[in-house]
Chain A
């Protein structure tokens, strides 16, 4: 796996802005423009034949705001490679659905939940919420309880009563009774 990383570094040079190794997991930080090319290289030349997952992170308050995360896998060797790239708000990402068909639905979910758009995607529609739902609910500035919305004859939403929630665990060396999720208000 070290060979793969050093090979990629040599080929893509400065566009790889960093590498992380943590407990045998390898992560590459790549510039956004080169990400698609690097993914294609990984698939065609290095044998990463399986895209495990595509996800995104919202770092609200810092620039750039979003981050895309691709989890690649080489099935024959059982090796994983994580590729990350930073993304400005309102900046579209290139689709990976022409490289791995499974990215199609992953990207639709990211669009649905985070509002990141994908250039070249064959069918960029919402996958969980309905067409016309006005918010992106996994963004950090979206409240946990939700927001009211109304689409006649399709669906509506209301605000959920949190009743002192959210219920979170707190780190402690005490017994599991103390570690149980509790309301933050108490």
Chain B
């Protein structure tokens, strides 16, 4: 517990009030909840998917990071893990699954192919999934080991932790819609 003083104190706990009350910022709370239950949408397209499965299994155990609930429905997912080679034939299907995921959502490009097309400089392969959807974390490797994916997930957790979630939530829905239109335009 000694090193908690060195970290940024985002959650203050007052032991005098017997643990029933926690003082904190709304942002910190929302982000804390979000980052520790990132439900992945496993977009397994090639050999990276095998490593993704290993990451989910007992030896590496992605549930230590709260991300074990692989939902095969995009409507229940928070983070899409694009694991593998995205062919042009598959790319619009990936985009469609991404579009069905509710906000807030994040994307991890797992491995060389999903990040840049990898060794497939070819007529058939999309040169990086970031041509179609915004990527938050790129994980290098061909395929990356499960530790690398977990590192990527931890980086994503750090990123989620720094978001201004409350501001986004409290903002007038009309303003948010306008902003969204500006982004898409």
A142 CB-CB contact with B under 8 Å: yes
A76, chain B: closest CB distance, angstroms: 38
Q: Does A145 contact B (CB under 8 A)?
A: yes
Interface majority SS (helix, strand, loop, mixed), chain A: loop
Chain A 148-172 interface mask (CB, 8 Å, partner B; 1/0): 0000011111101111011000000
Total A-B residue contacts, Cβ distance less than 8 Å: 47
B125 near A160 with CB under 8 A, answer yes
- Which B residue's beta carbon lies closest to that of A143? B123
A137 in complex: contacting residue of B117, B123, B131, CB < 8 Å? B123
Are the CB atoms of B92 and A146 closer together than 8 Å?
A: no
Tell me whether B92 and A160 are in contact (CB under 8 A).
no
Whether B121 sits at the interface, judged by CB under 8 Å, is: yes
For residue A147, CB closer than 8 A to chain B, the reply is yes
Indicate with 1 or 0, residue by residue over A117-159, a CB within 8 angstroms of chain B CB atoms: 0000000000011100001010000101111000001111110
B92 near A162: Cβ-Cβ < 8 Å: no
A157-B123 in contact (CB<8A): yes
The range of chain B's interface size is 10 to 19
The residue from A129, A142, A161 contacting B89, defined by CB atoms under 8 A apart: A129
Closest to B92 in A: A155
Which chain B positions have C-beta within 8 A of A165?
121
The distance in angstroms between the C-alpha atoms of A146 and B91, with both chains bound, is 16
Given A130-B89, A155-B89, A161:B123 Cβ within 8 A:
no
A residues lining the B interface (CB < 8 Å): 128-130, 135, 137, 142, 144-147, 153-158, 160-163, 165-166
Q: Which 5 A-B pairs have the closest CB atoms?
A: A146-B123, A160-B121, A137-B123, A157-B88, A155-B88
A155-B91, A160-B122, A162-B121 known; 11 other A-B pairs, CB under 8 Å? A128-B89, A128-B124, A153-B92, A155-B88, A156-B92, A157-B123, A158-B131, A160-B120, A160-B125, A160-B127, A161-B121
